[in-house]
Amino acid sequence: MSFPEGLIAQLRISKNLAVLTGAGVSKESGLRTFRDAQTGLWAQYKPHELASPEAFQRDPKLVWDWYAWRREAVKGVRPNPGHYALVGMEKHVPDFTLITQNVDGLHRMAGSQNVLELHGNIQRVRCADCYTFTEVWDDDTESVPHCKVCGGLLRPDVVWFGESLPRDQLEAAVQAARSCDVFFSIGTSGVVQPAASLGFAAHNRGAVVVEINAEPTPLTPKANYSFHGKSGEILPALVKEVWG
Ligand code: OAD
């Protein structure tokens, strides 16, 4: 695999790099994406019936069980070479921010340090009412487990459709996109806001935009460099080429 000289030179002098990742980065770990035509979760399930506050109000057990199933899937997988390549990249750039829409925690498991989780983390569980986090709950109940503090229903600490993103994570992500000299968009279809606007913000501020994705996205026309393929193959090759 060969990469343009201009990109290699740019990365070697980069002082401030921001990376946005999506479900495509975890696909080679064995997790399903959301929008791939045949295999994506949203090809099989309706988002608003499973990933919204209204769905949880209507049928909390259905929503709880769906996330419990996904939590189990995440427990059974490991980071892939794409995740590890980003750990390597972080070591070479003074100011590095990894912004992820993924709730699987695989970037941190791989060893990435400065990670912003825009959509939460599926392994964390909290009370839907009082927000208290809990490490222990009984999954084998007929109904959704309850909060030990206030008796409210427990829920995954992920962002559902119609909910706000964690403010501190979003503010830091916007700041990173606006101040970086190189912005990577990797494995995301780029259709869910506000994450989708980060690449455009970086481009408008003059950052070099690099996209790595299985297929073109709305960001592709703005990208200075666009690579279509698997992040688990392209990223390790790029990091090796740039930093050896
Ligand atoms: P999507 O499923 O929308 O997009 C995944 C992208 O990764 C697609 O463009 C694929 O072509 C690409 N892709 C697949 N395999 C790849 C690989 N091996 N290497 C590189 N790219 C690959 O997932 P997201 O963009 O992450 O939100 O979705 C954004 C949000 O929509 C999710 O965080 C989730 C979902 O609804 C919430 O649940 C709030």
Q: Could you please report the per-residue DSSP string of 101-128?
A: ---S-HHHHHT--SEEETTEEEEEEEET
Q: And the tokens for 143?
A: 């109904």
% of the chain surpassing 70 pLDDT: 100
- Closest by CA to 96, choosing from 179, 38, 31, is 179
Residue whose CA is at the smallest distance from ligand 1 atom 8? 189
Q: Residue 167: what pLDDT?
A: 97
Residue 240's CB is within 10 A of a number of other CB atoms, namely 12
pTM for this model (two decimals): 0.96
Q: Residue 38: what pLDDT?
A: 79
Residue whose CA is at the smallest distance from ligand 1 atom 18? 230
DSSP 29: T
What integer is the mean pLDDT of 216-240? 98
Check if 107 is active-site. no
Atom of ligand 1 nearest to the CA of 22: 26
188 CA → ligand 1 middle, Å: 4
Q: Within 13 Å and on the Cβ side, how many CA atoms surround 230?
A: 12
H helix or E strand, kind and range, residue 16:
strand 16-21
pLDDT: is 49 or 77 the higher one?
A: 77
Residues in contact with ligand 1 by the CB-under-6-Å rule are 22-24, 27-28, 33-36, 40, 47, 51, 101, 119, 159, 187-189, 192, 213-215, 217, 230-232
37 CA → ligand 1 middle, Å: 11
**Residues 238 and 4: beta-carbon distance below 8 Å:** no
